[in-house]
Amino acid sequence: MRIIFLGTSAGRPTKARNVTSIALKLPDPANGFWLIDCGEGTQHRLLSSKLKLNRLERILITHLHGDHIYGLPGLLTSRSYFDGAGPLQIYGPIGIRAYLEGVFEHSGVHLEYELDFIEIDSTGIIAQDDGFIVEAAPLEHRMPSYGYRITELPQPGHLDLTKLAELKVPPGPLYGRLKRGEDVKLAGGVIIRSSDVVGPSVPGRIVTILGDTKPCGNAVILAQGADLLVHEATFGAGMEEKAEAYGHSTVLQAAEIAAKAGVRQLLLTHFSSRFDDEAVEKLTADAQTIFPDTVAARDYLEIHVPRMGSNASSV
């Protein structure tokens, strides 16, 4: 599982940073990806990545400010030109359907695939499949804004190949059945129990991505124990009054949320355009005084989210 930042600026783009969009690359064998927010120019950023729009499965919109949604009409239209582009789900606050349908109506767009809208207005599970559970909760911003907690379901344990060889279990389909938790019978009538040759299940990973918000209780709840928290850091230390007025957070407030929630790693994003790269380094250093494992996102930064017991790394 990987996080790829396609835009890390707040409000408007800069020469170095586009406005907000994040891709979540799913682990094999799914081989697809999701988008969290889609600011103007997101599809241009995708052109410089290995991600293809026909592999896009879900879009999660945190809120309806333009720097988070103005890239949607163009991206969705371009997706029609990709072979194999199947149905696409869009999650977001109430109004996301009306916004897109209005644009499509007045611009004459006809998509070549099914678009499914899931508008949210409460706390709880909004999606669940064989691989993931997605939960949403409202944050505190100048308009309805949501955070998302994406939980990977536990994975089957590892096969004990040495023991399987000792029990004379032939490699092949029986291995798969055992790994899926099924007991099997060998040709001689011997029963091999899955629990005897498969290790304990591997905990799934948790990624929390918050929309624009000032510090609030739901931010901590959504991030509790997460492997990775992506939190906005629009303002620097000492700018708390401005952050409060605009419904945003400072870098120190983001670090405090990470510490309270007990996350493994904090990724800061959504930096005000007033901050250049040197200033962002200073902001990150400030946050690290509260939460040491803090990294500043930049456009095209790719972060591997490791399973428990391994170390995080960026590519």
Q: Which residues carry a binding-site annotation for Zn(2+)?
A: 63, 65, 67-68, 141, 212, 270
> Is 67 annotated in the active site?
yes
On whether the CB atoms of residues 38 and 63 are closer than 8 A, the answer is no
Q: Give the CA count within 13 Å in the CB-facing half-sphere of 253.
A: 24
Query: Of the residues 37, 67, 227, 299, which is catalytic?
Result: 67
What is the Cα–Cα distance from 211 to 186, expressed in whole angstroms?
Answer: 53
- DSSP letters of 59-112? EE-----HHHHTTHHHHHHHHTTSTT---EEEEEETTHHHHHHHHHHHHT---S
Binding site: residue ranges? 63, 65, 67-68, 141, 212, 270
Which of 149, 169, 163 has the alpha carbon at shortest distance from 211?
Answer: 149
- Tokens 């194999």 belong to residue: 84
Burial 51-72 (b: 16+ CB within 10 A, else e): bebebbbbbbbbbbbebbbbbb
Catalytic residues: 67
